[in-house]
Amino acid sequence: MPSPLSIRRVVLYKHGVGYFERRGKVTGNETAHLDFKARDMNDVLKSMTVLDLNGGSVSAVSYDSTKPLEQLLSEATIRIPEHGSLTALLGQVKGARVRARVGAAQVEGAIVGLESLPVVQGEASVVRPFLTLLVGASLRTFDVLELGELEFLDEAVRKDLEFYLATVMSSYKKDSKRLSILTAGEGSRELFVSYVLESPVWKTSYRILLDEGKPPLLQGWALVDNTGDEDWVDVELSLIAGLPVSFVHDLYNPRYLRRPIVEVRSETGVAPVIPQEAHESAYEPVMDAEMDDSFGSQGAAPAASIMPMAAPAPAPRMRAKGGPMIGGGGRGMRETLEQSTAVTTLTKEVGDLFEYGVDRPVTVHRNQSALVPILHRPFEGRRVLLYNRSTREKNPMACIEFKNTTGLTLEGGPVTITEDETYVGEAMLDTLKPDDVRFVPYAVELSCTVSVEQDLEDGPVFRARLGRGTLIVEFFHQRRTKVLARNKAKRPQVLYVEHPRTGWELKDTAAPAETTDGFWRFKRELAPGASDTLTVTERTRGQRQYYLGNLGLEEVTFFLDSRFIDPRVAQALRDVVAMREKLSQVAQDIQRLNEERTQLFKDQERIRSNIDSLKSGASQRELVERFVTKLNAQEDRLESIGRELERLEQERTRLQTEANQRIESLSYEADL
């Protein structure tokens, strides 16, 4: 039977859920029914609230199980096949008491059985079903096809039949689950039910009307979708902006915990002992397969119930009223809009949530959507131009400098702009809190052209620092950007130039009209047919480093002439350069002596080889003595070279240490 609980209130959210309120009348212990899609059951069980508002009580809320159709039907005592349903049914309920109407007479009795008997019809014989009843103490047989009515008098049989038919009927709509609210009380009472379901996100769209000499007019519409299986007829509609926490949690499917199975210990009878063949056997209990499946199954019990919850706190509302936008014959569009879609909006913020409420009933049929007016107010704004080189290089964008003076939080959405009753463009509006300001670009302004020139140079050094053997000079990188704008329109225009902020600082430039996270906005007034040049100069710090250990006299002179260092530091650096020159001379001497020693080693090898090749004899002895004398002289020279190299190495170490100490000890800083 249809549910007496009709939808009275719908609240849609921006994070994909909807809050629904139902109200209806119940009488006595009447049970109210609601049908939901299977995928919605978790949300319903998580959020449902049920209240009897007139002194009655709600004992429980039961809902369809998750068992498959075949398993549910297997629990019924009655089976009705696809064909021969009447005869098959009567054959299964032997002993059931029935009341049969045969013609004008009624007969009560118990079903004995059903059999097929041949009946002669004309020249042919046909088989027809006959029902045998025990009426009093006698058996009576009736042609089933001649029975006008057959009423089951046994309550158990009637309930089994109703359960079977209801289960089969529910299978025709496999995605639907029935939820039954069991009430108790006296007389007629009002029942309140609320719950949360997954719902399409409501959307917003806006219209802006520009009129010369008048404040811009903003009209807002909400787009709502009814994807449910029930019409929303004259419901109270509210729309919530914000993102409260919401999630899906499985409450619908039954959960089972696997319990351990403890077997009953048993002892076998004592068998006679067989000599030489006594055996021991181990007893291993076997788990019952059917019992294991019953505990491991994820199927559900035939029915489950939830207890009623506390009543929800009423949500804040705002009121709005209006109708669709139309043109007014003989009147301006602005006047027509103000009359046809006049909306009185009352708002209230709760935390980060903001609610739009509609103060007139709303009707949205199933599988349909609707546009609902939520806003119709003038706001503070004007038409300006906005230039951003990365958006469009040659032309600025026509924009509305939008200040949210409506007093409402405006959800983001598309906006269509009309100027002098003519469509001029579209834009996207960001979410705006009261008094927020945004530029809303909606068209390219071809009547204004822009060109940009840019150059980069390094400025003079303004600071020099010397320490730890390194000279650091600091200067400014300077960037100059020239923006040339030409207004070819016949009306004056306000141009905002967006210049990117890259971490550089402004230098010798007028302060911007606005500063955002990523841009400076410079405001320019453009006269009709005139040109304007904006120069933006920026600078950032840069530095160069010089390692003093590699300097020459020319670099020292350059540093002194550039005032990077003073005369005292310059003289210390000249002393270091002199030490470096001495080090270079010592290194050359060491190299020369090493080359001489290497050559002496080669000559000695040659002389020894010649001595080994000489034979005995007077002349040979003289030559050997000559070679030996030369070897002795070379050995004396090698000893002298060794001593000189040792001295030079010590001198090089001393000079290197002294130069490093002099360099490390230098410290200087000057602002130029």
Q: HEC profile for 88-140?
A: HHHHHCCCCEEEEEECCEEEEEEEEEEEEEEEEECCEEEEEEEEEEEECCEEE
Q: Tell me, what amino acid is at 161?
A: L
Residues 9-52 pLDDT 10s: 999 988 889 999 999 998 888 888 888 888 888 888 889 999 98
How sure is the predictor about 382, in pLDDT bands with cuts at 50, 70 and 90?
Answer: very high
- Check residue 359 and give its pLDDT: 77
Facing residues of 220 across strands? 206, 375
Question: DSSP letter at 373?
Answer: E
- Provide the pLDDT confidence category of residue 299 given band limits of 50, 70 and 90: very low
Q: Does this chain's domain 69-172 share its CATH topology with 554-671?
A: no
521 or 347: which carries more pLDDT confidence?
A: 521
Predicted local confidence at residue 7, as pLDDT = 93
- The string of pLDDT tens digits covering residues 501-559 is 999 999 999 999 999 989 999 999 999 999 999 999 999 999 888 888 777 888 888 88
Give the Cβ contact number of residue 491 at 10 Å: 11
Q: How confident is residue 312, by pLDDT bands cut at 50, 70 and 90?
A: very low
In angstroms, the CA 645 to CA 662 distance is 25
For position 403, what pLDDT does the model report? 93
- Model confidence at 345: pLDDT above 60: no
Please determine, looking at this structure, whether the domain spanning 69-172 carries the CATH number 2.30.30. yes
Structure-block tokens of residue 523: 């405001």
CA separation for the pair 659, 247 (Å, rounded): 73
Residue 300 has pLDDT above 50, yes or no: no
pLDDT computed for residue 212 by the predictor: 80
Condensed to tens digits (0 to 9), the pLDDT of residues 186-233 reads 888 999 999 999 999 999 999 999 888 889 999 999 999 998 888 999
Encoded tokens for 485: 């704008």
Q: Name the band, by pLDDT with cuts 50, 70 and 90, for residue 486.
A: very high
> In sequence order, which residues have a C-beta less than 8 Å from that of residue 605 and are 6 or more positions away?
none
pLDDT at residue number 281:
36
Residue 311: the pLDDT is: 36
Q: Which residue has the higher pLDDT, 581 or 446?
A: 446
Answer with the residue of higher pLDDT: 377 or 3: 377
pLDDT, position 264: 67
pLDDT of residue 480: 95
pLDDT over threshold 50, residue 321: no
In the chain, how long is the greatest CA-to-CA distance?
A: 171
SS3 363: strand
Q: Which residues contact 70 (CB under 8 A, 6 or more apart)?
A: none
**Domain ranges across the chain:** 69-172, 448-547, 554-671
User: Tens digit of pLDDT for each residue in 98-122?
Assistant: 888 888 888 888 888 888 888 877 7
- Mean pLDDT across the chain: 80
pLDDT tens, 414-449?
Answer: 999 998 889 999 999 988 888 999 999 999 999 999
- Three-state DSSP class for residue 202: coil
DSSP letter at 432? B
Lowest mean pLDDT: which of 76-80, 505-509, 623-627, 635-639? 76-80
Share of the chain above pLDDT 70, in %: 81
First to last CA, the chain: 95
Whether residue 647 is predicted with pLDDT greater than 70 in this model: the reply is: yes
- The whole-number average pLDDT for the span 454-481 is 89
Rounded average pLDDT over 332-349: 58
Over residues 123-175, the pLDDT tens digits come to: 778 888 888 888 888 888 888 888 888 888 888 888 888 877 777 766 655 66
Query: What tens digit of pLDDT does each residue of 385-418 get?
Result: 999 999 899 999 999 999 999 888 888 899 999 9
- Asked which of 24-38, 313-327, 481-495 is least confident by mean pLDDT, the reply is 313-327
Which range, 258-262, 333-337, 609-613, has the best average confidence (pLDDT)? 609-613
Between CA 628 and CA 592 the distance in angstroms is 26
Query: Out of 248-262, 290-304, 444-458, 609-623, which region has the weakest mean confidence (pLDDT)?
Result: 290-304
| Whole-number pLDDT of residue 330 | 44
- pLDDT for residue 183 is more than 50: yes
- Who contacts 599 (Cβ-Cβ below 8 Å, separation ≥6)? none
Residue labelled with tokens 């933006």: 536
Strands 138-143 and 124-135: antiparallel
Cα–Cα distance measured from residue 122 to residue 184, given in angstroms and rounded to the nearest whole number: 62
pLDDT at position 319 is 35
Q: Is the pLDDT of residue 380 over 80?
A: yes
Look up residue 581 and give its amino acid: E
What per-residue confidence (pLDDT) applies to 76?
A: 61
Task: For domain 554-671, give its CATH number from 1.10.287, 2.160.20, 1.10.10, 1.20.1250.
Answer: 1.10.287
3-state SS string for 598-622: HHHHHHHHHHHHHHHHCCCCHHHHH
Of 520, 523, 524, 526, the residue nearest 506 (C-alpha)? 520
Q: How would residue 298 be classed by pLDDT, with cut points 50, 70 and 90?
A: very low
3 close to 160: Cβ distance less than 8 angstroms: no
